[in-house]
């Protein structure tokens, strides 16, 4: 992903470069997703932590409080009733934060997209980092997505939240 | 010069404590993994040894979030207040023979006094967060920690009687031939149970109770403030295991040169750490009223009885002492089993009956 | 206390046994033949796609994830496939399209690592005439009965604008 | 206890206000109509006078276009002999009002709220007539045919409106709907009433409201409990759900029966085979399609394996909820083993789309039967593993015994079914009472609890897991040769106009699908009778008096699956 020009501040970058390296390493090796599953995908999300897949090998470790979580896995359908809650939870998470849209429902509304009550993709509410197709995606696919986020962190790439904030700043929208 | 020595001492102790905290964290995740047929951390350093560092560093870099409704000053103080006693306790801890920051003749008394500060930070954290889950967690934690300190202190009475001293190094040296675990098994059992409660570990993890209170008193904490609580938990775990090793497992006593004593002490400490972790992953959690009832109705009377019978045993001889202790252990096991069987009021079968 | 001891013993016992973890990115398990993960276009020996652009799959798709573009054949009746794409982010992997396929042109694959940072990349293009080296295979149109059945069944589902038999 | 022949004595005989007595399609269900005014009397006579004590279904369906309006559908069962009765009430478009029956069954209250929400039928005298699955401020009643779904689904405008407020627990029951002469009181306190109750010393300063969920680690997805607390003790609790309402019933009306099969997998997402089975049972009943014997056995085999996976998922949640984390890892280990078989046989791990009208999609792959047999013989040992961690554990017993006790009367009052009912010693199991698929050939043993507390429900489920493994082995051993699907069943099934109600025993209880066909390839109305919905709504009656820890333990014993509750 191209780094947004608004964010790159050459001066501060030089100052924090060595620290930034350490930080990227830490973020690339520790990722605490929030236990928030709405639907079918939540079962596969639980499976990811189970003995067969054991995400803890990579330092992925589920936390219950949004304040302490780094990453929100939208595991399931988002409807009009839960949408404000999803947004609230996202806002409660502290930066840096990442969002994984797991499964067709979170990506686009999936099989329920025609319905009168289903949000067509969680990216309409919050910025999404990784999309995971599947209905539900295999646990391996979700693990792959989590590892992708961590790899991107190691490489120091910006999260969707940061890009979103930068775009808003560039547009002069105060948040 | 003295100031420098003190500063150096503090630095060494803090670093030592931090390293051990991190190692305990690693042990927890790794051992828990293996107990559950998993592997635990594998990819960060050798078998995930660097995992806690990565976690801590990441939390350091996270945004520290203070809720709008929170009491900002108290909210900021609480994590610091929690972490301080966890380190402070080491100043009176003897490591090998008389190698101690300050060898206090009421060392054990001071340990408990400092440990009693921890609930204060919890109640501040719970209160200032302005979150109902935090508040409930804080209430639970305070009630629990105060209730369980009593049987814990009472259980140590026997040890103090045997050593005729409250100085930690004297207590350890009194175990040069026989560990207190042999002469005081029941006291060790009580101490261990009290320790689990002090550490907020399963089956007494009501203050955090993830499935009930989300995160208990630390629900609203994020970033480094949360990391402080997290570290405190594991620092306390190391501290209490260290004291359990000193009070009951003979501390640094062992064959070989005196310097090896430090290694013995660490090995014994980690043995206790293992037990704490082991219990955590095998047992469910108590309910809040059962927790209080267990302390006040079972543990405290048992601890008083233990002190009394230990005094009697000391008056008679060591065999009587051991016999009395074993009888108490047996009685305790029987009592717990009885509570389990009688749980629920109705007289009833256990397995479901089958109809076809 | 016996119950507690039993639990402790069980947990300790697990420590001695080897873990059941399959270390996913390092070892990947082969999926069974029937696994419905992603899609592939079946091709004949010459490498040309077997799809006949009969639209059965597009119309049978409950999620409207399949989009087929085709144009009228210049040299006779029937249509030529120009583009075949499936929106993996919309699909529910029910397998109805593969079941409906009359020409054995579409099949499931075990590929599941289709994650992406962009929503647009969820759209899997299985066939694009512009990128296709080989000529499309011989066309034969679906029988009128088949089409009638599908139209009946999925009549309520809107049909893509340039798709469908006339 | 098979259902008696349709020629048996007419159960409606002598009840005033009943007309159009008949039989529902080819099923043994007796059906009749009544008027709104006579409804309450008829149902009371059926319940009290003739022993139809179990409310199986309460729903509504749109009437045909020529007679606009809504048809209320009630189905009740007499458990002694398994007689099933269905009652319909036609409501014309301008008079969508009917008296409530929640005085007879408290479990009818949430079902009526659902009909109110989705059809706009007003239940006179209902004490708490608020929307239940949709947002409080949702415009319109979506299951009416007149409700226009936007072709593009939810658009940005809707979303902006949705994000502007939370939209639940905001509305008050509408007063004009409460006809005082019909007013009914429910046997549990409401949170708002408790909070506002005055004991003479002003408001209760000690009481506070605790919102548990929708994001809470032990709310099994997106359940929302609304609790009034006094210290740690719960004095009233209400259930809010609908955070996973995804229009399955409406979408089903626009899709072919095969696509609906794929869709209903997602309703009960931990045990998709059961909704498929209930739906296809209805389709086959309506279209009179024969199912081959081999397919019947395959259906039993898959159902029992699926019950096993569903209970292992429950086991995981149950362990975590009482604070023991390890049972989850043990049970998921075994779940994975079965899911591998599912994937090999059906192609999906959780969403199978395997059953077809007249049979199943494909035969067992070669060698699968033997491997399955070998695996099923190890299941008992794995279950011993979970039991070692919980069953005899003193702490677990103290946590669960005597907690959340439900008497058989409560079970009937709320329409609770499945392991929850059996935990209270209520001897019901549709596999045995109303054998569907090949269950008639099986030797089914039904475990029953003694007291009806959380521990009993736990013990019953554990026993059912062992039982399922045994039944699956029986199915493998008795599998006949032959076709796995009846040849010649068209792809697009078009059942003749009519209605069918088919129920199966899902891991949570009585799961039924009420189908109405208008002769086209899409259902006119499809309603899933969700067992978890009824089981969940017993909570307000059971929760008060418990502590927070008890609430979690009780809710885990309900085995909530939100997908099926909200649909």
Helix (H, G, I), strand (E, B) or coil at A84: helix
DSSP 3-state of C106: strand
Residue B90: per-residue pLDDT:
79
Containing D135, the helix (H) or strand (E) segment is none
> Would you say residue B174 has pLDDT above 70?
yes
B61/A59 Cβ within 8 A: no
Average of pLDDT values for A72-92? 88
Q: Nearest Cα to A145, choosing from D333, C40, C33, A134?
A: A134
Q: What angle do CA B16, B278, B266 make, to 5 degrees?
A: 30
Is A107 close to C89, i.e. CB distance below 8 A? yes
- For residue D311, what pLDDT is reported? 92
D269 lies within 8 A of chain A by CB: yes
- State the nearest Cα–Cα gap between B248 and chain C, in angstroms: 22
The pLDDT value recorded for residue A113 is 85
Q: Which residue has the tokens 């939540």?
A: A42
* Distance in angstroms (rounded) separating the CA atoms of residues B273 and B280: 11
Q: What is the pLDDT of residue D493?
A: 84
D232: Cβ contacts below 8 Å, ≥ 6 apart: B136, B288, D547, D548
The domain segmentation of chain B, as residue ranges, is: 67-336
Q: If you ran DSSP here, which 8-state letter would residue B130 be given?
A: T
Contact (CB<8Å) B282/C8: yes
Round to whole Å and give the CA distance between B312 and D143: 80
Pick from C1, C21, C23: which is nearest to B336 by CB?
C1
Cα dist. D466→A152, B356, D299, D348, D383 in Å?
Answer: 46, 15, 19, 24, 8
Q: How many CB atoms lie within 10 A of CB B315?
A: 9
Residue A6 has pLDDT above 70, yes or no: no
Where chain D has pLDDT below 50, the residues are 1-8
Which residues of chain C have a CB within 8 Å of the CB of B34? 14-15, 19
Give residue C141's pLDDT: 52
User: CB distance from D203 to chain C under 8 Å?
Assistant: no
- What average pLDDT score do residues B305-328 get? 84
Q: What is the CA radius of gyration of chain B?
A: 21
**Which of D327, D379, D334, D383 is closest to D556 using CA atoms?**
D327
Flag if C119 and A132 touch (Cβ within 8 Å). Answer: no
Residue B319: how many CB atoms within 10 A of its CB?
Answer: 9
Out of B312-316, C153-157, D148-152, the most confident range is B312-316
DSSP E strand stretches across chain C: 38-41, 66-72, 79-87, 106-109, 123-128
Residues of B (233-252) whose Cβ lies below 8 Å from C = none
Amino acid D172: pLDDT? 63
Which one of D368, D386, D491 makes the best mutation probe of the C interface by having the most chain C beta carbons within 10 Å?
Answer: D491
- Helix or strand (DSSP H, E) at D545: none
Q: Spell out the domain ranges in chain A.
A: 29-170
C19 — contact with chain D (CB < 8 Å)? Answer: no
Higher pLDDT, D14 or C21: C21
Q: How far apart are CA B140 and CA B209, in angstroms?
A: 10
Q: List pLDDT tens digits, range C88-135.
A: 888 888 888 888 887 788 888 888 888 888 888 888 888 877 776 655
Q: Cα separation of A64 and B120, whole Å? A: 24
- Decide: helix, strand or coil at residue D299: helix
Distance linking the first and last C-alpha atoms of chain A:
23
C-chain CB neighbours of A151 within 8 Å are: none
CB contact residues (below 8 A), chain A span 111-140, against chain C:
111, 113, 121, 123, 128-135, 137-138, 140
Q: How, if at all, do strands D69-78 and A130-132 pair?
A: unpaired
Q: Which of D72, D71, D38 is nearest to D55 (CA)?
A: D72
d(CA D422, CA D433): 14
Residues of A within 8 A of B42 (CB-CB) are: 57-58
* CA D68 to mean position of chain CA atoms: 29
- The chain B residue lying nearest D217, using CA atoms, is B211
- In this structure, the number of other CB atoms found within 10 A of the CB of residue D18 comes to 21
List the one residue out of D422, D461, D467 whose CA is nearest residue D556.
D461
Return the pLDDT at B91.
Answer: 76
pLDDT computed for residue C25 by the predictor:
82
Rounded to whole angstroms, how far apart are CA atoms D561 and D270?
A: 8
Q: Which of A34, A51, A118 sits opposite D246 (nearest CB)?
A: A118
Domains and CATH numbers, chain D: 18-145+177-182 (3.30.460.80), 248-566 (1.10.645.10)
State how far the alpha carbon of B106 is from the alpha carbons of B103, B172, C50, D355, in Å: 9, 14, 88, 75
Q: Among B191, B192, B187, B189, which Cα is nearest to B162's?
A: B187
Residue D68 tokens read as: 């606009």
The H or E element that residue D513 is part of is: strand D509-517
Beta strands C79-87; D359-360: pairing state:
unpaired
Integer angstrom CA distances of residue B218 from A87, B204, B285, D138:
22, 16, 19, 36
**CATH of the domain spanning C31-153, picked from 3.50.50.60, 3.20.20.10, 3.40.50.10740, 3.30.70.3270:** 3.30.70.3270
Quick one: pLDDT at residue A2? 39
Q: Which tokens is B344 given?
A: 């629920």
Q: Residue D173 phi/psi, 5° resolution?
A: -55, 135
pLDDT at residue A14 greater than cutoff 60: no
Given an 8 Å threshold on Cβ–Cβ distance, is B346 in contact with D552? no
Alpha-carbon span C58 to B8, nearest angstrom: 75
What is the Cα–Cα distance from D106 to D415, expressed in whole angstroms? Answer: 8
Closest Cα to residue B198, out of B146, B261, B158? B146
Of all residues in chain D, the one with the smallest CA distance to C146 is: D491
Residues facing C77 on adjacent strands: none
Q: Is the CB of residue A69 less than 8 Å from the CB of residue A63?
A: yes
Q: Are B269 and B188 in contact (CB under 8 A)?
A: no
Own/partner long-range contacts of B307-316 (Cβ < 8 Å, ≥24 apart)? B307/B154, B307/B155, B307/B157, B307/B158, B307/B161, B310/B157, B310/B158, B310/B161, B310/B162, B310/B184, B310/B187, B311/B158, B311/B161, B314/B161, B314/B162
CA distance D114 to D111: 5
Contact between B299 and B146 (Cβ < 8 Å): no
Please count the residue pairs, one from chain A and one from chain D, whose beta carbons lie less than 8 angstroms apart: 151
- Residue in A with minimal Cα distance to C35: A138
Judged by CB atoms closer than 8 Å, whether chains meet at D214 and A85 is answered as yes
Q: Assess contact for C36 and C86: CB atoms under 8 A.
A: no
**Of B51, B83, B81, nearest in space to B236 by CA:** B83
Residues 6 or more apart whose Cβ sits within 8 Å of residue D471:
D300, D304, D442, D444
Q: Is the pLDDT score of C138 beyond 60?
A: no
> What is chain C's mean pLDDT, rounded?
75
Contacts of C75 (CB under 8 A, 6+ apart): none
For D86, other C-beta atoms within 10 Å of its C-beta total 22
Nearest-CA distance from A121 to chain C in Å? Answer: 9
Nearest by Cα to D465 from D488, D441, D445: D445
CB atoms within 10 A of CB D179: 15
What are the chain C neighbours of D255 within 8 Å (beta carbons)? Answer: 62, 156
CA–CA gap between residue B53 and residue D348 (Å, rounded): 40
Whole-number average pLDDT of chain B? 84
- What does the alpha-carbon distance between residue A71 and residue B118 come to, in Å, rounded to a whole number? 31
Q: Which segments of B280-348 are extended strands (E)?
A: none
D221 vs A15: CA distance, rounded Å: 45
CA D13 to mean position of chain CA atoms:
31
Nearest by Cα to D504 from D303, D330, D212 = D303
Nearest to C50 by CA among C156, C152, C135, C164: C135
Instruction: Report CB contact under 8 Å: C116, A130.
Output: yes
Structure-token pair, residue B119 = 């609930």
User: How confident is the model over B206-257, as pLDDT tens digits?
Assistant: 877 777 888 788 888 888 888 888 888 898 899 889 889 888 888 888 777 7
Residues 177-236, chain B: which have Cβ within 8 Å of C?
none
We find that the CATH architecture of domain A29-170 is 3-Layer(aba) Sandwich (3.40)
- Residue D205: the pLDDT is 62
The closest of B343, B310, B341 to B328, measured between CA atoms, is B310
In angstroms, what separates the C-alpha of D392 from chain C's closest C-alpha? 5
Residues B165-185, mean pLDDT to the nearest whole number = 84
What are D261's strand-pairing partners?
none
Mean pLDDT of A37-48: 87
Listed by start position, the domains of chain C span 31-153
In the predicted structure, residue B118 carries a pLDDT above the cut 80: yes
Q: Of C62, C65, C70, C71, which Cα lies nearest the Cα of C39?
A: C65
């Amino acid at each position: 992903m191209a780094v947004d020009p608004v964010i790159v501040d050459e001066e501060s970058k030089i100052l924090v470069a060595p620290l930034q390296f350490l930080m990227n390493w830490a973020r690339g090796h520790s990722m605490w997703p929030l236990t928030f599953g709405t639907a079918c995908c939540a079962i596969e999300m639980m499976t990811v932590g189970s003995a067969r897949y054991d995400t803890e090998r990579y330092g992925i470790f589920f936390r219950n409080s949004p304040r302490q979580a780094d990453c929100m896995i939208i595991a399931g359908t988002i409807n009009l009733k839960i949408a404000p809650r999803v947004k609230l939870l996202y806002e409660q998470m502290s930066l840096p934060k990442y969002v994984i849209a797991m499964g067709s429902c979170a990506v686009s509304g999936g099989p329920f997209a025609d319905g009168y009550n289903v949000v067509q993709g969680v990216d309409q509410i919050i910025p999404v980092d990784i999309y995971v197709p599947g209905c539900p995606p295999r646990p391996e696919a979700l693990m792959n997505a989590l590892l992708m986020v961590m790899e991107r962190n190691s490489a120091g790439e910006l999260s969707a939240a940061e890009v979103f904030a930068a775009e808003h700043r560039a547009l002069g929208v105060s948040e | 010069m003295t100031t420098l020595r003190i500063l150096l001492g503090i630095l060494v102790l803090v670093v030592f404590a931090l390293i051990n905290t991190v190692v305990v964290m690693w042990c927890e995740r790794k051992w828990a993994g293996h107990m559950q047929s998993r592997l635990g951390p594998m990819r960060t350093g050798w078998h995930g040894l660097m995992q806690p560092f990565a976690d801590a560093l990441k939390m350091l870099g996270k945004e520290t979030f203070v809720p709008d409704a929170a009491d900002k000053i108290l909210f900021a103080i609480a994590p610091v207040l929690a972490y301080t006693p966890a380190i402070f306790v080491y100043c009176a801890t003897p490591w090998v023979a008389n190698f101690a920051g300050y060898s206090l003749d009421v060392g054990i008394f001071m340990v408990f006094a400092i440990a009693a500060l921890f609930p204060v930070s919890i109640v501040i954290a719970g209160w200032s967060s302005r979150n109902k889950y935090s508040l409930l967690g804080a209430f639970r934690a305070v009630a629990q920690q105060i209730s369980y300190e009593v049987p814990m202190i009472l259980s140590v009475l026997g040890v103090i009687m045997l050593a005729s001293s409250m100085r930690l190094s004297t207590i350890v040296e009194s175990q040069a031939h026989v560990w207190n675990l042999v002469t005081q098994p029941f006291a060790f059992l009580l101490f261990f149970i009290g320790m689990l409660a002090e550490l907020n570990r399963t089956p007494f993890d009501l203050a955090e109770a993830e499935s009930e209170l989300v995160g208990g008193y630390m629900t609203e904490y994020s970033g480094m403030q949360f990391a402080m609580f997290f570290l405190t938990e594991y620092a306390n775990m190391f501290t209490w295991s260290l004291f359990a090793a000193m009070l009951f497992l003979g501390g640094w006593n062992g064959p070989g040169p005196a310097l090896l004593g430090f290694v013995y002490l660490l090995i014994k400490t980690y043995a206790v750490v293992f037990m704490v972790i082991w219990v955590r992953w095998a047992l469910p959690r108590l309910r809040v009223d059962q927790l209080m009832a267990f302390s006040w109705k079972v543990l405290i009377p048992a601890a008083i009885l233990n002190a009394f019978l230990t005094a009697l045993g000391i008056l008679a001889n060591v065999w009587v002492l051991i016999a009395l202790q074993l009888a108490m252990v047996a009685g305790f096991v029987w009592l717990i089993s009885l509570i389990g069987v009688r749980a629920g009021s109705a007289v009833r079968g256990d397995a479901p009956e089958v109809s076809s | 206390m016996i119950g507690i001891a039993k639990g402790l013993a069980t947990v300790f016992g697990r420590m001695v046994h080897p873990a059941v973890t399959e270390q996913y990115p390092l070892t990947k398990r082969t999926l069974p033949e029937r696994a419905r993960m992603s899609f592939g276009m079946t091709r004949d020996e010459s490498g040309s796609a077997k799809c006949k652009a009969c639209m059965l799959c597009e119309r049978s798709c409950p999620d409207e994830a399949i989009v087929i573009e085709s144009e009228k054949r210049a040299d006779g009746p029937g249509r030529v496939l120009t583009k075949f794409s499936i929106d993996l982010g919309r699909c529910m992997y029910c397998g109805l399209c593969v079941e409906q396929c009359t020409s054995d042109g579409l099949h499931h694959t075990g590929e599941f690592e289709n994650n992406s940072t962009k929503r647009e990349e969820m759209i899997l293009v299985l066939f694009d005439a512009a990128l296709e080296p080989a000529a499309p295979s011989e066309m034969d149109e679906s029988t009128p009965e088949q089409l009638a059945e599908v139209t009946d069944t999925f009549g309520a589902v809107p049909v893509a604008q340039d798709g469908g038999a006339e | 206890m098979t259902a008696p022949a349709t020629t048996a004595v007419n159960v409606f005989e002598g009840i005033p206000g009943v007309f159009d007595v008949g039989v529902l399609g080819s099923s043994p269900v007796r059906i009749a109509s009544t008027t709104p005014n006579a409804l309450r009397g008829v149902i009371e006579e059926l319940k009290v006078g003739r022993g139809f004590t179990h409310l199986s279904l309460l729903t509504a369906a749109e009437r045909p276009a020529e007679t606009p309006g809504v048809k209320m559908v009630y189905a009740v069962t007499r458990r002694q002999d398994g007689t099933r009765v269905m009652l319909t009430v036609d409501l014309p478009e301008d008079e969508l009002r009917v008296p409530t029956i929640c005085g007879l069954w408290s479990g009818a209250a949430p079902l009526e709220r659902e009909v109110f929400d989705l059809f706009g039928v007003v239940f006179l005298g209902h004490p708490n007539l608020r929307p239940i699955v949709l947002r409080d401020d949702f415009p319109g009643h979506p299951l009416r045919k007149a409700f226009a779904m936007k072709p593009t689904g939810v658009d940005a405008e809707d979303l902006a409106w949705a994000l502007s407020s939370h939209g639940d627990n905001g509305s008050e029951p509408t007063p004009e709907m409460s006809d005082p002469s019909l007013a009914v009181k429910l046997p549990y306190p409401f949170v708002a009433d408790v909070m506002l109750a005055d004991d003479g010393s002003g408001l209760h300063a000690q009481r506070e409201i605790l919102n548990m969920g929708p994001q809470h680690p032990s709310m099994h997805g997106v359940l929302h409990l609304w609790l009034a607390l006094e210290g740690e003790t719960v004095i009233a609790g209400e259930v809010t759900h609908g955070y996973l309402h995804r229009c399955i019933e409406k979408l089903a009306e626009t899709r072919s029966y095969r696509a609906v099969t794929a869709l209903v997998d997602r309703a009960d997402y931990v045990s998709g085979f059961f909704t498929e089975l209930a739906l296809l049972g209805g389709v086959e009943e309506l279209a009179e399609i024969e199912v081959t014997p081999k397919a019947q056995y395959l259906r039993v085999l898959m159902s029992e394996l699926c019950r096993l996976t569903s209970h292992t998922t429950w086991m995981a949640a149950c362990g975590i909820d009482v604070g023991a984390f390890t049972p989850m890892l043990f049970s998921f280990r075994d779940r994975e083993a079965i899911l591998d078989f599912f994937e090999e046989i059906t192609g999906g791990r959780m969403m199978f789309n395997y059953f077809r009208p007249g049979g199943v999609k494909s035969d067992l792959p070669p060698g699968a039967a033997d491997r399955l047999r070998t695996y099923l013989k190890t299941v008992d040992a794995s279950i011993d593993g979970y039991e070692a961690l919980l069953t005899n554990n003193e702490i677990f017993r103290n946590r669960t015994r005597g907690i959340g006790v439900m008497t058989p009367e409560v079970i009937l009052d709320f329409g609770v079914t499945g392991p929850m009912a059996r935990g209270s010693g209520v001897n019901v199991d549709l596999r045995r009472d109303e054998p569907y698929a090949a269950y008639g050939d099986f030797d089914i043993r039904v475990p029953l609890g003694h007291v009806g507390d959380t521990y009993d429900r736990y013990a019953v489920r554990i026993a059912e897991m062992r039982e399922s493994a045994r039944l699956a082995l029986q199915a493998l051993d008795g599998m006949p040769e032959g076709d796995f699907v009846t040849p010649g069943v068209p792809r697009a099934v078009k059942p003749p106009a009519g209605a069918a109600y088919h129920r199966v025993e899902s891991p949570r209880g009585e799961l039924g699908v009420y189908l109405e066909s208008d002769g086209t390839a899409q259902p006119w109305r499809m309603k899933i009778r969700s067992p978890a919905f009824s089981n969940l709504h017993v909570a307000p009656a059971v929760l008060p008096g418990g502590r927070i820890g008890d609430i979690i333990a009780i809710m885990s014993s309900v085995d909530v699956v939100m997908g099926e509750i909200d649909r």
